[in-house]
Amino acid sequence: MNSPIHEPAPLQPGTLRVTPIGGLGEIGRNMTVYEFGGKLLVVDCGVLFPEEHQPGVDLILPDFSPIRDRLDDILGVVLTHGHEDHIGAVPYLLRLRQDIPLIGSNLTLALVEAKLKEHRITPYTLTVAEGDEERFGPFSLEFIAVNHSIPDALAVAIKTEAGVVLHTGDFKMDQLPLDDRITDLRAFARLGEAGVDLFLPDSTNADVPGFTAPERAIGPVLEAVIQKARRRVIVASFSSHVHRVQQVLDAAHANGRRVAFMGRSMVRNMGIAADLGYLRVPDGVLIDQKKADDLPDNKIVYMSTGSQGEPMAVLARMANLEHKIEVGRGDTVILASSLIPGNENAVYRVINGLMKLGATVVHKGNAKVHVSGHASAGELLYCYNILRPKNVLPVHGEHRHLVANAELAMQTGVPEENIILGEDGVVIDLRDGVATVVGQLDLGYVYVDGSTVGEITDADLKDRRILAEEGFISIFVAIDPQTGRVIVGPEIQSRGFAEDEAVFDAVKPQIVKALTEAAENGTRDTHAFTQVIRRTVGRWVNTQHRRRPMIVPVVIEA
């Protein structure tokens, strides 16, 4: 692994080229480019959320460089489902070429259209459903129902002269889902019997033994918790998890409570889901939040966002008493959600805060209020055995997930040499049932920060990490370059270093002395004077404080 970078040779006729440019080595920014006969088909176009070593970054996009010069060759973008890690980067792709057709299910397209509206883009769309077959140039697509933690998810079989590829998108195999729409194993079987040349399965839960519990198991737990609740109930979950919200609505209704949606994305997405018939709202159960506040405490359920401890979301604001709904003794808060790695401290801070206010907090650590949206190892084994794919490229996971998925493939008899453990930018050519790694592109992370895309670099993030760890000291002087005499300054500013600016009084004479000496020794240029200040202050701060703040000298010749 850690493949050396090498550009692939030009694509030969009759060969399908597969290039995942996101989602291999990370959970997020899923995007795969398929090329045949000079035409491109993209599957998914998602974002990745930053980790703590990427401070201030809003989103991370796939690196579009492999397709940037070939935008006109793109026949369409298939969106497997409506989660951010599969659709979040669409606005940034459409900024490059606005009329790329988007292909997806009814709900998926409704969610991406709502997102694009905020970016003032009206996309070209083609709505498809399970069972549909569509032809785009050399690509024949067959769409297959899969079950996931958002309704209306689709796998896509991509058929070209070079063979058949099955791209699952995210999925699990809940056998009794709320909407009775199961992952279509009959279609998988039919494809398998005809021959699947390359299989790209979801790896998220490949290292989890057994089977993902059914979503339906949560309903009775929610109902029991709500029944026991003495005062208000606040449920936090993901704003796209229609079936989870459905179960909250049903549990509230069964207990004679009404439900108010809170948080912009929750209100928006559930409006879409209800309009399109994915969310069945029991008569009269919904109530506007403003009116909800007038109901007796034991007649209301607030359905909110913020289950990951996001500081600006409803739940964290409640925990900090910064929200008009003042949580107190007797209230019950349910976090009906996963705990995404990296969010633990933030989530526990929210839980501790709510408990200090007197609330009872129910979460996946103490009750069965969450199940995953991804197939566990047991389910993936079913898939491999039904499909018997010739080649496998595990996708959608960190390296450890991809390895676990590869091991499952091997256990079902896929030869090790037919399993590709790749990373973003791996280039795979498929022809005559043989999949070969033919290149490794050099792709980077593209950071969105505020309205800027790609302006913030890894160097900036390194600076930010240093600033975060140690703060900075900036030193301004205007000097006479001939004598090194300081005419204005040294003026010292610092942030994140020490409260008391008087601490710098000790170093100012040292700076003046060092500059004069440097000039006496023949130094004349500004950059060299800058280095003198950097060394002087650096040495002082290290010996006096054992610290390494960023040192930012500014020298002006006067």
**Tokens at residue 54, please?**
């990427």
User: Is there a contact between 375 and 181 (Cβ–Cβ < 8 Å)?
Assistant: no
In the complex with a second copy, which residue's Cβ is closer, 272 or 456?
A: 456
Annotated binding site for Ca(2+): 56, 58, 449
Q: Catalytic annotation on 174?
A: no
Nearer to a second copy by Cβ, of 320 and 412: the residue is 320
Binding residues for Zn(2+), as ranges, are 81, 83, 85-86, 148, 170, 396
- Give min distance, CB of 61 to a second copy, in A: 16
Say whether 374 is catalytic: yes
Of 167, 243, 253, 374, the active-site residue reads: 374
Q: Which is nearer to a second copy, 73 or 470 (CB)?
A: 470
Shortest Å distance, C-beta 144 to a second copy = 31
Choose between 399 and 535: whose C-beta lies nearer to a second copy.
Answer: 399
Q: DSSP letter string over 205-236? A: BTTS-S-PPPGGGHHHHHHHHHHH-SS-EEEE
Residues 6+ apart with CB under 8 A from 366: none
Please report which helix (H) or strand (E) contains residue 166, including its range. strand 163-167
Q: Which two tokens stand for residue 440?
A: 């490794």
Minimal distance in Å, beta carbon 423 to a second copy? Answer: 8
- The residue among 433 and 444 lying less far from a second copy, judged by its C-beta, is 444
Q: With 0-12 CB in 10 A as exposed, 13-18 as middle and 19+ as buried, what is 308?
A: buried
Catalytic entry in 44, 63, 184, 202: 202
Q: Report the nearest approach of a second copy to the CB of residue 72 (Å).
A: 29
**CA angle in degrees (0–180, nearest 5) for 9-14-15:** 45
Closest CB 83 distance from a second copy, rounded Å: 20
- List the binding residues for substrate: 239-241, 370-374
Structure tokens at 543: 């010996």
Residues 6+ positions from 356 with CB-CB distance below 8 Å: none
Q: 229 burial class (0-12, 13-18, 19+ CB within 10 angstroms)?
A: buried
In three-state secondary structure terms, 381 is helix
Known binding-site residue numbers: 56, 58, 81, 83, 85-86, 148, 170, 239-241, 370-374, 396, 449
Surface-to-core class of residue 318, CB atoms within 10 Å of its CB (0-12 exposed, 13-18 middle, 19+ buried): buried
The helices-and-strands tally (H runs, E runs) of the chain is 16, 25
* 6 versus 495: smaller Cβ distance to a second copy: 495
Residue ranges in contact with a second copy by CB under 8 A: 1-2, 25, 51-53, 55-56, 207, 341-342, 344-345, 348, 351-352, 355-358, 361, 365-366, 398-400, 403, 449-452, 455-457, 459-461, 463-465, 467-472, 474, 476, 478, 488-489, 491, 493, 495-500, 544-547, 550, 552, 554, 556, 558
Q: What is the DSSP string of 16-74?
A: EEEEEEESBSBSS--EEEEEETTEEEEE----B---TTSTT--EEE---HHHHTTGGGE
Amino acid making up residue 32: T
Residues that are catalytic: 202, 374
